[in-house]
Chains A and B, each alone.
Chain A
Amino acid sequence: MTMSDTIHIQIDRADGSLQRLIGLVERRGFHIDGMSMADEGPSRRIALTVRGRDAARSIDNLGCQIDRLFGVARIGAPAYQSEAA
């Protein structure tokens, strides 16, 4: 049994955003053991409790994968600087 971790996420209300997040977590080799969601006006806050399917699955790498999504932000993750295009 691998260890579980909880990831806190802010997510927008665009079509497909929940599927996008949950599909990514499962596709990258994690079980979702728990999930709670709260309304925060224009966005939603989600706590996901996840557990790797095997010991090779890295929660840090999953975090980086989540960071790649648009409309989704991990709470507590580093924000990169923005430059005008």
Chain B
Amino acid sequence: MSAAAPALKTASAPATVNDTATGARLLVSSLERMGVEVVFGYPGGAIMPIYDALTGTGLKHILVRHEQGAAFAADAYARASGKVGVCMATSGPGATNLITGIANAMMDSVPMVCITGNVPQGVMGTDAFQEIDILGVTLPIVKHSILVRDASEIPAAVEQAFHIAASGRPGPVLIDLPKDVQFATAVAPFGFNLPNETIPLNHDAIAEAERFIRAAERPLIYIGGGVKIAKATEAVRAFAEATGIPAVATLNALGTIATDAPGYLGMLGMHGTRAANEAVQSSDLLIVLGARFDDRATGKLAEFAPHARVVHFDIDASEIGKLRTTHVAVAGELKPGVEALTVRMAAAPLAIDPWVIRCASAAEHHAARYDAPGEGVYAPALLKQLSEAAGDRFVAACDVGQHQMWAAQHCRFSRPEAHITSGGLGAMGFGLPAGLGAKLADPSATVVTIAGDGGFMMNIQELATLKRYGVALKIVLLDNSSLGLVRQWQELFFEENYSEVDLSDNPDFVKVAEAFGIEAFRIDRRDQVEAGLARLLAADGPCLAHVVINPKENVWPLVPPGKSNAEMMEGA
């Protein structure tokens, strides 16, 4: 949380005063001091001094082929590593190309520091070549931003940016560096040891939460992406196990409870499981952990969980009561809050067996089926097989669309870090650069980009980056020759008026990948899936499986937009 602090607050005086260096050199040494190992970026005129200073340092710079790829890769690097992701770009178009990636990090609370060059201060405000007020442009989509006007302020700005990006509810921070500041020489202090501002644990609220839980007959845990961010996965698992309360998860929380764990009902919301949505609609108490009542999770808000009171744990006080009345608010760090609640709950068991049995039997009754007729590839089955074959080291880096929902519904996730997806922003083009970033963050993981043909084409240039650095990312390209989710909505809600969703003139993706020097092959039929997945996972380097699927396949179940989660549609 931020509170006061107009100026830089420090817990102690700067540790060291030294470093007479150029601003560019100060920036690079500051990044090294923050423990940065990998930077994703793309050079240009206004950031050339920094690129000059990069050579010969310990920083590994990954040259992407579009700045959006840098921002998405840095985002996924942060999600996979738990560290702050770093990207950089030049002024003007370089900076504006970062924007979608910055917004993505903001929406999903990902710690990221974005460094942009800018034109010299003397010409700022004159519409100079490649001048954009990137600080102004990005204000709504950053956690914070800093325009550095004096080289001596660079180490402090970097330290502050990393601190803000990673503390409390994380998010992206922009550092904008005019070119004259990069060239200027300064003596700069560093080592500020910035204080964390914390909300004290509210034991009265936790006691109240216990009373509400003990009074409930149909309690339900509603897990959001904040649990993973707070590194509270084990605490939440322990709470669920100690109490036996069934749990549902949002898209960004998949894997927090392992997919096959008892009591876990799957994802709630628009493409959630019937068991999860029925449990929410029947529940008399939602225990909300690090979630924000996103509309894709709640459906029609006024009819969401109509019988439930709400206990809400979140580090961001502004999320509590934002959309849904909260009966017990526990603002603050999730981990100690949930641990304290678990200790209290362990004193006596809950008497909720009828509810637990009802939830479990709904989950069993509505379990997904994989016996679709025909010889064509059934994407949900393929994705389930993929995750099972990849095992506990599996990391899915998803793009956005039908394949993303199928991955969420059908992949097995044993840990939340195994599922990287553009949840809040829903940014097509995320999958390929996200896979790049995740694989660089966790080289021993089996990272698989799961993309559709639409989103894959949006950042296809990053195949060159995979090749350049030999990044052994695996790609499952589910090709239905259309913008499938839009096509599905047109079928269901726009009287089958298929407007601008046909992508049947896609290129030959195997040839495209091979042109980039990447191994690729095609899967057309169901009987090729097992061997195809084995080949993909066994490949030493980057490898693409081009999977042809039925363009008419839809994502089920579905809550129609604007409807209650009680109104789930199923396919024929």
Contact = CB atoms under 8 A, between A and B. Distances in A.
B200 interface: yes
Interface string B347-377: 0000000000000000000000000000000
Nearest to B164: A70
B502 to A, nearest CB: 36
Contacts of A77: 3
Given A16-B145, A61-B321, A67-B317, A84 B193 contact: yes
A69 B139 CA distance: 11
B198 A81 contact: yes
Interface in B460-482: none
Interface string A42-53: 110000000000
B12 A84 contact: yes
Contact of B6 (A27, A43, A78, A79): A43
Secondary structure at the B interface, as helix, strand, loop or mixed, is loop
Contacts of A12: 6-7
B139 A73 contact: no
Given A67-B1, A70-B164, A84 B11 contact: yes
B388 interface: no
Contact of B197 (A13, A43, A80): A80
Contacts of A58: 321-322
Contact of A16 (B6, B135, B316): B135
Contact of A80 (B1, B140, B145, B321): B1
A85 B197 CA distance: 9
Contacts of A35: none
Interface string A17-57: 00110011001000000000000001100000000000000
B140 A85 contact: no
Contact of B4 (A16, A20, A79): A79
Nearest to B173: A70
A83 B135 contact: no
A14 interface: yes
A42 B317 CA distance: 28
Contacts of B63: none
Q: Which residue among B1, B6, B169 has the maximum number of chain A CB atoms within 10 Å of its CB? A: B6
Interface of B: 1-7, 9, 11-12, 135-136, 139-140, 143-147, 149, 163-164, 169, 193-200, 316-318, 320-322
Q: Which 10 A-B pairs have the closest CB atoms?
A: A12-B6, A64-B318, A84-B11, A15-B147, A82-B195, A73-B4, A43-B6, A80-B197, A70-B144, A70-B2
